[in-house]
Structure 1
Amino acid sequence: MATIPLTARGAERLQAELHRLKHVERPAVINAIAEARAQGDLSENAEYDAARERQGFIEGRISELDGTLSNAQIIDPSTIDADGRAVFGSTVEIEDLESGEKVTYQIVGDVEADIRANLISVSSPVARALIGKYEGDVVQVQAPSGIREFEIVSIKYL
């Protein structure tokens, strides 16, 4: 399996989720299965079925997180010498040249991308357009509504 790039903060979040699943969620679902089993006939026991389904989800997510973290290449943006360029892990403020709207994104790995938290995947069209560019550069991004132009306002390595 190929290495999976993660920021240090993203790796910490995944490790915290893995810890919660192993030490809180897993024991809780095991107790729920035991309680449902104690009610008798399992063939018509909705609580048992729901608990088993939840257990399958938890075990699958634990396995997924273990695999991701074992293949992770953790990159700390604050230690990167990028010579002012936008790179993986950098936080980039851009301005839409048409609307004047400014937005700040951090370029992260596919696994930790979350647009609601302004974390965009390194493989997204916006991130691909930003990678390697400097403050003041204008980039073009192919959007569903057509080509949009953004100016890079600032680049930080947090």
Structure 2
Amino acid sequence: MLLAVGAALLAVAGPDLVPAAATDAPRWILGVFGEGLAISPGLFLALLYLTSLAWAALWYLSQRFDSRALWLLIGVLLTLFTLAPPLLSLDLFSYISYGRLGAEEGLNPYEYAPAALPSDQAAERVGDFRFSVSVYGPLFTLITYPLAAAGVG
């Protein structure tokens, strides 16, 4: 029960405890909870350690709880993480860029890099990988094609 209360408190805090992409990040990437807030590495590590302790406590207490209650808690936590913004990575912008190369421009993402989309806002956020062709497999690359429709600006 203590873990459920802790998870609920983290959920209420929303993205304030999750590093957001950037100050000019598109609204949709911040998740359904709101604005997001970059946190310091020290606070991130403290929260990571707290999560590890919570996992150990859950493992210890799992012998005392009904399995249905544990599955419900797992479902709630998975839902919260699904609705949260992407953590610690802007790879999502790479996926969008590779999807746009193939789906909108008809370019092969294995031959062209996001830099081939000079005015694309997703390609601008790719960072160091702006001039890198896709390293992802064909199935994953095909799955990224629907992301081409994601608004970034």
The answer to whether the superposition gives a TM-score over 0.5 is no
Per residue, is there more strand in 1 or in 2?
A: 1
Place the TM-score, normalised by the shorter chain, in its bin.
under 0.3
TM-score if structure 2 supplies the norm length?
0.25
Per residue, is there more helix in 1 or in 2?
A: 2
